[in-house]
Structure 1
């Protein structure tokens, strides 16, 4: 994944969106992140950027993400965005310097949170770079797939990408790269995953696809 390019594109779009948001929109709860509003999600993104620049090794745990939001609780959106914008060049230097996969996580984080925010505001999905996100997330899932559960051939129907989860293709899952990336990163409920285009019965594996807790409610974006 080209983390710097993915991150920069997402940040640019989110900063452009921020300039248009009303107070009501900023206070909107984010269904994918039930404890946060839109403004708090921006605060988290600024916090991740500052923390990684400051030496934090990704990923952030729940305590860290809560701190990131709490530290910016008194800041308005302009202040949050100004901090985020000022720290981003140094984060891009971290991306260039660090080769471990965990340093790709801030790019994954901002891509998903952009779509989380868009979903909360009733906006459509932003699918650019979904192929890169699917490659990173589904590829990671394949490397850790348990050998004692059915194997799954996963096909991204819009990009032609394919992965094999396990040693054999007992089942097949076909979906767009965007849906695969969202499902594997805890943005699709188990019901939504089971309702995707499967060959074979997915009941033994649908709950194993999310690498983060799956939401209880179905998400539209």
Structure 2
């Protein structure tokens, strides 16, 4: 386990409580990710059948169909079974036969309607959309070996605000050890409430690694190898049983390492 890179004085200060982004930032972050995905895969029909390692059962086409299908379901308010296997499979069934460019066209035509609908949604659900969409952007980038932006934009701010807010709730409800998470975009966030600030678990990582670790894209071995200050053993259930439950049909951390 790592020892952390902060000096003792800074390390002793508690982090700030996580916060969800305002809906205006959520809408802007969602548009930002759509624009990046569109630029990444438009006009690349030859890559449609390429497998996506982060989503082993999916291809590039499946992943884009899911993103367009989520937009359709939001606009039509088809959200009763949100994130269930059947909900996602229905998206692939109705859209999986379209070309990548056709899927991007359909998705792009719904952006305004999606962002208008977000204004009526619970704040956490709206932020979750950006988290899910950004996660799949990087799933696609991993499949194409084209990393792109991994930090410092509004989409990361919204997504990390969501995962840290959910992490804080799950850690508290599960009675798990508190975590002080530090990334460039969120600064220091306090997840859970430690009995004392001294000796609490601390993790300082990149925005991208936080997105992937908290989003079910890192194996147990990879999670354990993060530069923890303290022993994370008792916190790992947050990553293996709690946090990933809100993403991609309850995907758990992969058995094999996902190297990106």
Contact 2:179 2:201 in 1 (8 A): yes
Q: Could you tell me which residue of structure 2 aligns to residue 203 of structure 1?
A: 233
Could you tell me how far 1:196 is from its partner in structure 2?
0.9
Equivalent residue pairs, number: 219
Contact 1:3 1:104 in 2 (8 A): yes
For residues 118 and 55 of structure 1, the distance between their equivalents in structure 2, rounded to whole angstroms, comes to: 29
User: Which stretches in structure 1 are left out of the alignment for 5+ residues?
Assistant: none
Aligned counterpart for 1:91 among listed residues 109, 114, 129: 114
Q: Could you tell me which residue of structure 1 aligns to residue 258 of structure 2?
A: 219
Could you tell me how far 1:176 is from its partner in structure 2?
1.4
Could you tell me how far 1:18 is from its partner in structure 2?
2.1
Q: Could you tell me which residue of structure 2 aligns to residue 109 of structure 1?
A: 132
TM-superposition CA deviations, 1:6-65 (whole Å, max 9, x none): 110111111122224241x22111111111100110001110000010012384211100
Between 1 and 2, higher relative CO (CA 8 Å, sep ≥ 6) is seen in: 2
For residues 37 and 105 of structure 1, the distance between their equivalents in structure 2, rounded to whole angstroms, comes to: 23
Q: Could you tell me which residue of structure 2 aligns to residue 49 of structure 1?
A: 71
Aligned counterpart for 2:223 among listed residues 179, 193, 201: 193
SS of residue matched to 1:36: strand
Q: Could you tell me which residue of structure 2 aligns to residue 183 of structure 1?
A: 213
Gap change, CA 1:47 and 1:204, over 3 Å in 2: same
**TM-score with structure 1 length normalisation?**
0.90
Q: Could you tell me which residue of structure 1 aligns to residue 168 of structure 2?
A: 142
Q: Say whether 1:78 aligns with 2:96.
A: no
RMSD: 1.9
Gap change, CA 1:141 and 1:160, over 3 Å in 2: closer
For residues 150 and 176 of structure 1, the distance between their equivalents in structure 2, rounded to whole angstroms, comes to: 21
For residues 70 and 203 of structure 1, the distance between their equivalents in structure 2, rounded to whole angstroms, comes to: 40
User: Which stretches in structure 2 are left out of the alignment for 5+ residues?
Assistant: 1-20, 245-251
**TM-score with structure 2 length normalisation?**
0.77
For residues 30 and 12 of structure 1, the distance between their equivalents in structure 2, rounded to whole angstroms, comes to: 20
Gap change, CA 1:160 and 1:109, over 3 Å in 2: closer
